[in-house]
Amino acid sequence: MSTVYPALLCLPDEAAYEAHFKSKYCWGPITTFDGIRVWFDAYKFRHDFYESSNRDRKKDQFSPKRAERMDWIEATLKDPSAVLKQGWLRDEKRYDSGRRVALVMGNYVVVIAISAKNPKKAKFVTAYVADTPKTLSEIQGAPSWP
């Protein structure tokens, strides 16, 4: 059975998206299809739903493209057909099996960090559309997640 993805969110402003994020995700964990409980931090809204206007790693601009797909995060985590890859640690220039990247819908990405102490617990890292061929190719070429 295939996972059904929600329609894109269309909320009036950034504050409405932030309120939706906090009420949907920050009151308790979302459990993945394979039993990992994923926790979300309310204070990371700016990190998760902003992007860099200059591609310089400074997230300075609200991203409607990320925000309107906010409800896809839960659907992705619960999707047993997601392609699972190891995450890339940019500063260390290596793959990390403690980071799980889920790729769905062709180019939508959700990243979680698995707890080293408890492999059934994780933190939400980010979610985004892999909108360049290079980014998508790098994700698809990563080692499979254990």
Domain ranges of the chain: 14-140
The pLDDT of 27-39, averaged and rounded, is: 97
Which amino acid would we find at residue 29?
P
Q: Mean pLDDT over all residues of the chain?
A: 94
Report whether 50 contacts 59 (CB < 8 A).
Answer: yes
Report whether 146 contacts 95 (CB < 8 A).
Answer: no
Report whether 82 contacts 104 (CB < 8 A).
Answer: yes
Q: What tokens does 21 get? A: 């994020």
Which amino acid would we find at residue 132?
T
The pTM assigned to this predicted structure is: 0.94
